[in-house]
Every structure is written in structure tokens, then in C-alpha cells.
Amino acid sequence: MTDSHERQGDLDDVDHGVEDAVGATQGSAADPQQHASTHVSRRGLFAMGAGGLAVGALAGFGGTVAAQAMMPQDDGEAVDASVSHPFYGNVHQAGVQTEPQRHCVYMTFDVDPGTTATDLQSLFAMWSAGIAQLMQGKPVGLVQPPRAAAVPADTGEATDLSPNALTVTLGLGPGIFDDRFGLAHKRPTLLKKLPALPSDNLQAALSGGDLSLQACAEDPQVAYHAIRDLARIGRGTVSTRWTVMGFGRASAGANQMTPRNLMGFKDGTRNVRSDDEFRQFVWLDDADWMSGGTYQVARKIQMNIEIWDASGIGSQQDVFGRTKSEGAPLGEKKEFDTPDFAATEHGQHVIPQNAHIALAAHENNGGVKILRRSYNYTDGINQFGQLDAGLMFIAYMNDPQHFVKLQTRLGSYDQLNEYISHIGSAIFAVPPAPEAGHYLAEKLFS
């Protein structure tokens, strides 16, 4: 057989595998009418470049993954690498209320010109099948095909790794609901571009996007592998826009120790934690196809590390309104003590009124809270020879105006603005999780 014939055989094999995978995702197509309503084009299922395959069969590869021993981490918490989260059968997508993992790869995408609504539907079906595999620690296709000329469908760098609590969360940007796809009538009520906000120094190359994928895991290679293969699957339908690799979670879940940001302070002490708070501030209810979903705001925040490191401890604590070591509100002893924003000493507020916690506190913002799910990042050295690092701020809320309200105050008055700059920004609607036999955002197309 010639190389060209062999490669065409590989393409046909993968095409059949892809159709089987989407069939498993969408449910049985035994009913001809149902099959007609769920059939999607080959272009949407199987995008390939001249260099090789973008996707293989996503379901049915039940290979086992090696269980890793529980390893102690710097924060004293043990990690069981065999832990996995379910993709199907929940009301909400994983990766929001899930206790934050230690690593995150966040990527946004633009939809390619000429893409149709059917192509988008195909992509979401393919991504759903792929995410379901990845979250169980399985590959998205063959890592080692039987033919020498065949291109592996899975890139393979997570082959011997366990699930490591991987979650992948999909977001839909405002551009999905413009005239390109005929979906304007399905736009979530509160989804629109964020307004210009005080202290913005946004770079176009780090802002916006039609889609977002947030992959979080206890192993950075597991998170990277997930985003790498999902981006590969989308090739020909979407193109990458901007990405951030996060480490050292900068927000805690209900049962986790509060982590520290790169300024050395505990971050997210008063985060949304309880189920009641999630229902009140995060999840959407009675919102048509978005019921059970939420909104995601992503901000890349650069820190002026060297300037901060030269500041005295008293100045640093006044900026945050907390002690650096314990994380207690100024004037208190323990991290979770309630801040007293009215307390004064020698005629001055103990917690400065323009301290970060004073401006962000729900007591001072009409009770508003948002869920922080942020990560530290570093991009090495900048053009000035200084450390290029900061916070990949990711937040979830049932009303994006809550973020706008908070950031308007913080951007206007926060002492922290002397040391940070918001250089990237995007907003996305996060649909609910799919039921078994269905795929993400399926109701958007009904």
C-alpha cells in the first residue's frame, strides 16, 4: 500500500471512531428522526491540518492509568493522584465549586471564519467526549497507532499519569451569540462585554475570546495535556487566542488552607464557601438553557514584584489590611476573625479605608460576593529585566455586574493599584453540565 493510501485509511478509521464517540455522547441514533436532528458534519467532527490528524476516536479507549502514591504537598495536604471527578450527571460543570487544584492551564479561543452553528455543535460534542475521557485519566484516542504512518490521536504526555483530580470547564463568550451563528436569541441575559474599568491597562492580545477552557489538576502535566489535546481537536474550527499557565492556587475551597499570592499574603480568606453562598452568589436558577450555569470573569493581573519587595512590612500590611504572617485583619489575631472596619486608633482607621479587604468586603458592597478561583503565574523576565509575574484572577458569579461593582471601587481607590496592572480581561457564560448521552451547551442549539 502506498503512503497516501495508508494515510487515507488512517483518516477513514479515525472518522469512523469520531462518529462513534459523538454517538456515545449524544445518545443512540436508532430513531431516524433523532439521528437527523443530532447528525453533525464531518468538518465539525474531524478537523485536520496538512500535518496530520486533529482528533481520534474519543470514546471506548478504556486503558488503565497508573495509580500514584499519595504525596504530601507544601501546604501539608496530601494528594491522591487517583482521584477523579465525573463529567456527566451533575447539575453544574466541574471546576467551579470543585475544591481548587494546585495547577491550572487557561486558554481562550476565537472561532475561525466560515464556521457554522453546526460546526460549533460538532465541536462541543467532540470536546465533551474528550473531556469525559480526560477527567477519568484516559487518552482521547490511540497514543500508539498500529500503522507507522498513522499520527497518534493523543499526544501521550499524560499516558502514565493518573486523573489527578482533573476538571475542564467550558465558557462561551459574547461573540458566540452574534450574527455569525444565528444564536442571538439564545444570548444569556447578563452576558455582555465588560465595560472599561478603572486601572485597566488591557492588551488586546490578552483579552476577549469566543470560548474558554479552564483545565485544573493536581499535576501540571495533566492539565497541560488536557488543553493541548482539546486545542488539537478544535483545529480547523477554532484558533487559540491567549493562554496562562497557573500554579500555586491563590484561592481556597471550603476544606482547604488559605493559599498565598506572589506578594506573600493569604488570598481569598473570605471566599464563597458554603452551598448556600453558592446558590446565592454563583449558580443561575430558572435561566432557560443556562440554568445550573454561571458567569466567568478572567483577568490577567501583572504584579510589580520588585517595587513590592522593596516596601516595608507596615506599608504592605496597610495595602491588604491584614497581617502578612497570620493573615489576620489588622487589629485582630486570627485569619478568620471578622474585620472591624470602624475601629480607630490615634484618630486613624486600624484598617485603612482604602485597604484591599475594606474595599472588597461584602459588608461595604451591599452584601455582594463573588467566587474567586485564581492562580499565580509567571512569564519569566520582562523587557526591563524584571520578574514578569502576577495573578490569573478567575471568578464566578450569577451576575457579572457584581464583579463590575467591586472592580470599579477597587480600581479607583485600592492602595494595591500602585503595585498591579490589569493587562488581560474576558467574560464567558458557563453552561451547566451535560447529562449522560448529551454534550455541553446542547440546549443552545435546540
Specify the pLDDT at position 98: 97
How many secondary structure helices (H) and strands (E) does the chain include?
Answer: 10, 15
- Mean pLDDT, all residues of the chain: 87
Q: Which uninterrupted H or E stretch holds 79?
A: strand 78-79
SS3 at position 256: coil
Specify the pLDDT at position 57: 38
Residue 378 reports pLDDT greater than 60: yes
CB count within 10 Å of CB 69 equals 9
CB 131 within 8 A of CB 225: no
Convert the pLDDT of each residue in 189-220 to its tens digit: 999 999 999 989 999 999 999 999 999 999 99
Which is higher by pLDDT, 61 or 104? 104
Specify the pLDDT at position 287: 82
Average the pLDDT over 43-64 and give the result: 35
- pLDDT band for position 352 (50/70/90)? very high
Q: Which uninterrupted H or E stretch holds 88?
A: none
CB 341 within 8 A of CB 351: yes
Least confident of 34-38, 112-116, 361-365: 34-38
- pLDDT band for position 76 (50/70/90)? low
Q: Give percent above pLDDT 70 in the chain.
A: 83
Q: Give percent above pLDDT 90 in the chain.
A: 79
- Decide: residue 50, CB within 10 A, 0-12 exposed, 13-18 middle, 19+ buried: exposed
CB 256 within 8 A of CB 99: yes
Bridge partners, residue 377, by sequence: 246, 390
- pLDDT band for position 301 (50/70/90)? very high
Specify the pLDDT at position 229: 98
Convert the pLDDT of each residue in 382-396 to its tens digit: 989 999 999 999 999
Residues 6+ apart with CB under 8 A from 127: 170, 213, 230, 233, 234, 439, 440
CB 127 within 8 A of CB 440: yes
CB 108 within 8 A of CB 394: no
Specify the pLDDT at position 186: 96
- pLDDT band for position 75 (50/70/90)? low
SS3 at position 380: strand
Least confident of 2-6, 60-64, 295-299, 329-333: 60-64
- pLDDT band for position 37 (50/70/90)? very low
